[in-house]
Amino acid sequence: MSNPVIQHLLTRRSVSSNALGEPGPSEAELELILRAASRVPDHKKLVPWRFLVFQGEARDAFGAVLAEICRAEEADPGAFRLETEAKRFLRAPLVIAVISRVVENKAAPKWEQMLSAGAACQNLLVAATALGYGAQWITEWYGYSPGVRRALKLAENERVAGFVYIGTAKEKSEERERPALSDIVTRWQP
């Protein structure tokens, strides 16, 4: 395939957040990644998403917040679980929370706006991997936690679309089986 964009889309592979390490993107690369993420379909130009960036010491500080929220929301999380939560954002040098922000507009249904936020997550992955980094889009328990919602200061019309972890892959990811097009594509006939 001679088209580099199509080739990248056909070979892009998520890398587990546990398999990411330093270095992360430079500030210039991060700006490119975020610019690419903001270039998604956005009916009525509502900008129904925003980004929260966790880098450096902010990752460790937010880990302490996650551990406290886990302690408050779980019956008996145990020491190992609390330590895991405290180190969760240290799995990669960069974590970007994509916040879906639904704006009331009769011409742009909520569903479209939520899909736009999902497209922003995907563009983060595509841009980061195009720059040679490994990336993974996940939600896990903290994507749905009321305590995390409060810690992130989410408004009533906001929710976490995902956390995108970005860093350098420590090892090459194995390719996984993809669905056969014959299993997922049909042609509409009148």
Q: Nearest to residue 27, comparing CAs of 59, 68, 56?
A: 56
User: In this structure, are residues 120 and 101 in contact, taking their beta carbons and an 8 Å threshold?
Assistant: no
The pLDDT of residue 136 is above 90 = yes
More confident position, 2 or 134: 134
For residues 7-44, one letter each, b for 16 or more C-beta atoms within 10 angstroms of the residue's C-beta and e for the rest, the string is: eeeeeeebbbbebbeeebbeeebbebbbebbeebebee
* Res. 80 pLDDT band, cuts 50 70 90: very high
The pLDDT of residue 48 is above 80 = yes
Q: What is the pLDDT of residue 124?
A: 98
Q: What is the mean pLDDT of the chain?
A: 95
The model's pLDDT over 168-185, given as tens digits with 9 standing for 90+, comes to 999 888 888 999 999 999
CA 153 to chain centre: 18
Q: What is the pLDDT of residue 10?
A: 86
Query: Could you say which DSSP state residue 175 is in?
Result: P
User: In this structure, are residues 48 and 100 in contact, taking their beta carbons and an 8 Å threshold?
Assistant: yes
Q: What is the pLDDT of residue 99?
A: 98
Structure tokens at 92: 């990669």
User: In this structure, are residues 188 and 36 in contact, taking their beta carbons and an 8 Å threshold?
Assistant: no
Q: What is the pLDDT of residue 174?
A: 83
Q: What is the pLDDT of residue 1?
A: 63
High-pLDDT (> 70) share of the chain, %: 99
Burial class of residue 116 (count of CB atoms within 10 Å of its CB; 0-12, 13-18, 19+): buried
pLDDT (average), residues 4-17: 90
Q: Is 157 helix (H, G, I), strand (E, B) or coil?
A: coil
Domains present along the chain, CATH in parentheses: 11-55+92-173 (3.40.109.10)
High-pLDDT (> 90) share of the chain, %: 92
Pair type for strands 158-169 and 20-21: antiparallel
Q: What is the pLDDT of residue 82?
A: 96
Name the least confident of 4-13, 81-90, 139-148, 163-172. 4-13
pLDDT (average), residues 2-7: 90
pLDDT (average), residues 29-35: 98
For residues 159-185, one letter each, b for 16 or more C-beta atoms within 10 angstroms of the residue's C-beta and e for the rest, the string is: bbbbbbbbbbbeeeeeeeeeeeeeeee
Residue owning tokens 């270095």? 23
d(CA 84, CA 82): 5
> What is the pTM assigned to this prediction?
0.94
